[in-house]
């Protein structure tokens, strides 16, 4: 590891120095405001892990407002329209119901995506729920799906008419927030006396146990990497008393389990003492080593494909593709088309080429490289449904 004076002070304790765990490059689509190269660091004082990004919060807010993958409810999580996604939201609503016995409590889901959690809470008897999301498309979907109000906004810009709350839910939000202290201060102000916050985030201490794609959690969107200790520290230093914690396994797609952890914390008046996280660094080092091994295997398979075929089609323009175009021989391939099933990505420019829908493929002899591991199954289903005659290769198995 290399010591570094940080571009971004530790978002928990404010420390200005850390150790670089990993540096990751990304091939971004045109107009993407996020950084093309980023160091992933661990704080020298409290042991928290995070992206040392120079992009400010407005850059991330702009990204989620215009490029949010969650805006398409058919291909993403948050609406509860898919059985595995609905099960996740129902589980969270049950947790909230067990912690909060006041069904009249005013609860807001900040980062509500397409509103599925509000529906699940209503099914648990909570009648005063609402949502906030930076994506206008998500807010529209929420208003259509749930019998509750919703507004366009972020943790730093919630409309005044939203008022105050008895409970705030931040489910898979805080890993995206650059200024955590400012966010927690805002949460503190929004809560009524005795109010509570529920924070759920990916569990960085278990990344290696759930590794599917190399460096899948070191991406442009997840800029904070929590353990139970570091999430408790975030609460304590910002005048919240952690009351109830646990770990869980959720699904990020149909067959893809993913580690998460949570805290319920109660609004207090004074900061509490934090403790150093001495375990997270080692857990992430294991994750990084295993990611390097997997990346090398993928690189070898891609090399075999592009040695055999002078041109290829890449299906999938997500986080893994961004890394492969930066860190493997895929950067040298002649890619005649990029394809993506999510409408939010179609029409964007990647390496000067427009991202298209699968139905637009018109070169039946050119092989398709399925450039995803997490969503490979659904992509293969889409290819079969379109009756495409193209040879198909996957990242780990090569040509079918």
Tell me: pLDDT of 321 over 70. Answer: yes
Average pLDDT, the chain: 92
Same domain, 177 and 322: no
Residue 192: band (very low, low, confident or very high) from pLDDT cuts 50, 70, 90: very high
What domain count does the chain have? 2
Bridge partners for 2 per DSSP = 20
**CB-CB neighbours of 92 under 10 Å:** 24
Question: Domain ends where: 247, 273, 299?
Answer: 273
**Does 36 map to a domain?**
no
Looking up tokens 């390496």, which residue turns up?
A: 351
Same domain, 382 and 353: yes
Residues 6+ apart with CB under 8 A from 219: 319, 322
269: tokens are: 């008046």
- 44 burial (CB, 10 Å; 0-12 / 13-18 / 19+) is middle
φ, ψ of residue 22 to 5 degrees: the values are: -160, 145
Give the CATH number for residue 92. Answer: 3.40.50.150
Q: Range of 163's domain? A: 49-273
Tell me: pLDDT of 322 over 70. Answer: yes
- Please tell me the distance from the alpha carbon of residue 286 to that of residue 282, in angstroms, as a whole number: 6
Same domain, 386 and 267: no
| DSSP type of residue 367 | P
Tell me: pLDDT of 73 over 50. Answer: no
Same domain, 295 and 210: no
379: tokens are: 């992509």
For residue range 25-67, what is the model confidence (pLDDT) as tens digits? 999 998 888 889 999 999 999 999 999 998 888 888 777 766 6
Tell me: pLDDT of 77 over 70. Answer: no
Residue 253: predicted pLDDT = 75
Residue 63: predicted pLDDT = 78
For residue range 159-186, what is the model confidence (pLDDT) as tens digits? 888 899 999 999 999 999 999 999 999 9
Query: Mean pLDDT across the stretch 64-77?
Result: 55
| DSSP type of residue 29 | P
Looking up tokens 């450039």, which residue turns up?
A: 371
Same domain, 253 and 331: no
Query: Mean pLDDT across the stretch 75-93?
Result: 78
Same domain, 254 and 309: no
Residue 74: predicted pLDDT = 46
Give the CATH number for residue 300. Answer: 3.40.50.720
């Amino acid at each position: 590891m290399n010591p570094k004076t940080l571009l971004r002070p530790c978002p928990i304790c404010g420390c200005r120095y850390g150790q670089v765990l990993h540096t990751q490059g990304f091939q971004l689509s045109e107009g993407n405001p996020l950084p093309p190269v980023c160091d992933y660091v661990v704080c020298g004082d409290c042991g928290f892990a995070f992206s040392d990004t120079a992009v400010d919060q407005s850059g991330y807010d702009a990204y989620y407002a215009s490029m949010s993958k969650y805006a398409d409810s058919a291909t993403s999580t948050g609406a509860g329209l898919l059985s595995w996604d609905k099960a996740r939201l129902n589980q969270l609503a049950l947790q909230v119901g067990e912690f909060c016995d006041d069904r009249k409590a005013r609860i807001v889901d900040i980062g509500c995506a397409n509103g599925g959690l509000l529906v699940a809470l209503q099914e648990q008897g909570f009648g005063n729920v609402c949502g906030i999301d930076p994506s206008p498309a998500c807010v529209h979907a929420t208003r259509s799906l749930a019998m509750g109000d919703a507004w366009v906004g972020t943790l730093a810009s919630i409309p005044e008419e939203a008022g105050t709350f008895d409970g705030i839910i931040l489910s898979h939000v805080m890993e995206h927030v650059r200024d955590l202290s400012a966010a927690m201060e805002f949460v503190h102000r929004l809560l009524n006396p005795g109010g509570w916050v529920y924070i759920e985030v990916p569990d960085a201490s278990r990344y290696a146990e759930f590794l599917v794609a190399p460096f899948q959690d070191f991406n442009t969107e997840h800029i904070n990497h929590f353990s139970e200790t570091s999430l408790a520290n975030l609460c304590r230093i910002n005048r919240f008393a952690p009351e109830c914690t646990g770990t869980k396994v959720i699904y990020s797609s149909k067959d893809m389990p993913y580690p998460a952890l949570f805290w319920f914390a109660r609004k207090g008046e004074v900061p509490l003492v934090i403790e150093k996280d001495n375990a997270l660094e080692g857990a992430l080092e294991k994750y990084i080593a295993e990611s390097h091994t997997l990346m090398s295997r993928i690189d070898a398979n891609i090399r075999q494909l592009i040695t055999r075929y002078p041109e290829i089609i890449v299906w999938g323009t997500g986080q893994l593709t961004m890394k492969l175009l930066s860190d493997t021989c895929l950067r040298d391939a002649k890619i005649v088309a990029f394809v993506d099933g999510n409408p939010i990505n179609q029409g964007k420019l990647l390496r000067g080429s427009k991202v298209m829908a699968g139905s637009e493929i018109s070169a039946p002899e050119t092989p398709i490289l399925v450039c995803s591991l997490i969503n490979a199954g659904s992509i293969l289903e889409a290819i079969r449904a379109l009756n495409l005659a193209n040879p198909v290769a996957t990242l780990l198995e090569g040509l079918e």
